[in-house]
Amino acid sequence: MGAVAGCLGSVLGLENASGQRLVEPEDPGENPDATPGEFYHLIEEHDIVVDELYHTPEENRLDLFYNSSAETVAESDEEIVVIYQAYQELIDHGSSLENLYTEIVDPFDEQARGWGVDTEWVERYLDGEIDENELWGTIVESKAYDDGNESDGTSNESDPSMDDDGSASSGNETSDETDDADSADGTDSSEESDSSADGGSADNESDVE
């Protein structure tokens, strides 16, 4: 984990790094070869706007610069999932890549400027050694931000995938229950208020007499 997070700060300026190769998109066709170019093609097909993609053969790593279309952290996480799944597909098809590092071009406030994936995590997930939530947790921990801080692993971000029952969690259940309780309290208060008003009216009539 530390190795991935620690390398994110060195992603900028990679075009000057030794051994870097600029990658162009490559249609995998019917017989994919799990190449960096196919990874480029896959994420573009899923609406990820690639700025630049570099491959360093000596280190078996990919360095991706992309423009985020997200306006919220949740939408940004959905983009991360799309990119991760494309990388997982490469590994599942026999790629020898060891790491993926990313840099988000011009991130918004509260958005991570970069994150990474270690191929070991992917292999452990594919082998059933870790589950989806554990995998997502490692990716969240790899996030780096413009202030130079990295995630401390205590993030409350949840896996943006579906719940076990196949439905997306809205997170509003507690709020709805509270609203119902407030509504009930409001009814009681109104009844008390009406009773007070009736009592006040009776007193006034007595005074008039």
124-176 per-position pLDDT tens digit: 999 999 999 999 999 999 999 987 666 654 444 556 663 333 333 434 444 45
One-letter amino acid at 131 equals D
In a domain, 46, yes or no: yes
pLDDT at 12: 45
Structural domain harbouring 188: 171-209
**Cα 5 from Cα 157, distance rounded (Å):** 18
**Mind listing the pLDDT tens digit for each residue in 176-201?**
544 554 544 444 544 444 544 454 44
User: What integer pLDDT is reported at residue 29 of this predicted model?
Assistant: 85
Instruction: Using pLDDT thresholds of 50, 70 and 90, give the confidence band for residue 19.
Output: confident
Same domain, 94 and 25: yes
Q: Does the pLDDT of residue 116 top 90, yes or no? A: yes
Are 91 and 177 in the same domain?
Answer: no
Indicate whether 118 and 57 sit together in one domain: yes
Any domain includes 155? no
- Which pLDDT tens digit goes with each residue over 20-73? 999 999 998 888 899 999 999 999 999 999 999 999 999 999 999 999 999 999
Provide the pLDDT for residue 146.
87
Pair 100, 38 in one domain: yes
- 49-56 and 114-118: which strand pairing? unpaired
Q: Are 114 and 103 in contact (CB under 8 A)?
A: yes
Query: Residue 158: its pLDDT value, please?
Result: 54
Instruction: Say what the pLDDT of residue 17 is.
Output: 57
Domain membership of residue 101 (yes or no) is yes
Distance from C-alpha of 168 to C-alpha of 157, rounded to nearest angstrom: 14
Q: Which residues contact 75 (CB under 8 A, 6 or more apart)?
A: 69
Predicted pLDDT at 159 = 61
- Does one domain contain both 128 and 176? no
Q: Where are the alpha helices (DSSP H) in 46-129?
A: 73-92, 119-126
**86 and 181 in a common domain:** no
- Per the domain annotation, does 150 fall within a domain? no
Instruction: State the DSSP code for 159.
Output: -
| Domain end marker among 120, 141, 162 | 141
What's the pLDDT tens digit per position in 71-105? 999 999 999 999 999 999 999 999 999 999 999 99
